[in-house]
Structure 1
């Protein structure tokens, strides 16, 4: 089924055989391709959460190909929450699906909010052009799982000024030795970014332009 902004339902299959509920928009000749991972399932996170929906709608409206999905155990996705372990396979499945759906000449970016941002950092698929990470806690899994940290491809971290879990100064210290990582504070925002999501649209536009 297609919704008002041209997105359609689809299904992803993980390496361990689970079927995941997903939605994507695949315009002809997209400017970029973006996969977006949602916040923590145990706190109500799903592919329709605020930041995910804001970025999805904005990017589709900008002519990008965009994919969002529900982690295992969320909504119509099979399986159950796996505390950041199996969810790494979910991210890979989404990236592989988007990689197969478009041209290699069109940059592919992996984005995520909160738990989804940390899960995005565990994926270093060769097809990726970079990572856009919103309010990453940087502690969902052990730091050695963050394969993107040492990767030379660009990483922008949009960190809310008043983030309750990982404010900009703490994020800066954590990522000080990461390769090609930039902290972009989001003024006036806390971890949930209510009333500040427009600033994320501007930031991701800048990130995509840099690519």
Structure 2
């Protein structure tokens, strides 16, 4: 893990980065929760998601949104933070193969930003969201969602109404007709999944391994077809 700084037109964004030795390794960007409520890239949940991607051989970047840690600027109610995340995607593309698939993962406020990236950036092939702030932010941009992903929420989320979460789940289910679109509820947990972080990370790890195994199977199948043609 190395400290990095990403520059956009107005701000300097702090991050921590792990580069896989595999030149075609998938890439992941991790986004933290609300900057004004303790969100930062060293939070336990963010660090655990980051470590999980690294252990699955991703080139992985986590950032501090503007105004947090060594990142310059001030909180911008999501508009500037979306720019920060987009700059991070550009940076990852610069330092990785053009063949590298890109994943985005976000926690709470970061999940809202991650879903916007998923809609705006065709390079993104999958997403992972934990504790979508369904009641507090507008998710109308999700229809139709272009790629499958993982949504984790808690049974006792007092910050997002159950009806709002259910509505988002239905919309995603209707727009993404894929068995790889998954939803998991963690019982007896609050919005921030306090003391339930390990349960969430196990779900994240299983989902990543599932998607990677599918990709590997497809590669092997393609190779077999190619070998048959050559013969």
8 Å CA contact retained: 1:39, 1:45: yes
1:159 maps to 2:153: yes
Equivalence for 1:3: none
1:86 maps to 2:80: yes
Equivalence for 2:211: 210
Structure 2: how far apart are the matches of 1:150 and 1:173?
Answer: 14
Deviation at 1:56, TM superposition (A): 1.2
Structure 1: how far apart are the matches of 2:135 and 2:187?
Answer: 23
1:106 maps to 2:100: yes
SS in 2 for 1:176: helix
Deviation at 1:164, TM superposition (A): 1.7
TM-score (structure 1 length as normaliser): 0.86
Distance 1:189 1:167, change over 3 A: farther
| Unpaired stretches in structure 2, ≥5 consecutive residues | 213-231
Equivalence for 2:219: none
Equivalence for 1:177: 171
Equivalence for 2:131: 135
| Unpaired stretches in structure 1, ≥5 consecutive residues | 1-6
SS in 1 for 2:128: strand
8 Å CA contact retained: 1:168, 1:185: no
Distance 1:195 1:125, change over 3 A: same
Structure 2: how far apart are the matches of 1:205 and 1:172?
Answer: 24
Structure 2: how far apart are the matches of 1:141 and 1:85?
Answer: 12
Larger helix percent: 2
| Greater radius of gyration (CA) | 2
Distance 1:32 1:138, change over 3 A: same
Structure 1: how far apart are the matches of 2:198 and 2:50?
Answer: 12
1:13 maps to 2:7: yes
Deviation at 1:38, TM superposition (A): 0.4
The superposition leaves residues 8-35 of structure 1 with CA deviations (integer Å, 9 ceiling, x where unpaired) of: 0111123x43110111101211753210
Equivalence for 1:23: 16
The total of aligned residue pairs comes to 202
8 Å CA contact retained: 1:172, 1:183: no
More displaced 10-residue stretch of structure 1: 165-174 or 33-42: 165-174
Runs of 4+ off more than 6 Å: none
In the TM superposition, 1:31-70 aligns within 5 A as: 31-70=25-64
More displaced 10-residue stretch of structure 1: 133-142 or 160-169: 160-169
TM-score (structure 2 length as normaliser): 0.79
More displaced 10-residue stretch of structure 1: 29-38 or 70-79: 29-38
8 Å CA contact retained: 1:95, 1:110: no
SS in 2 for 1:83: coil
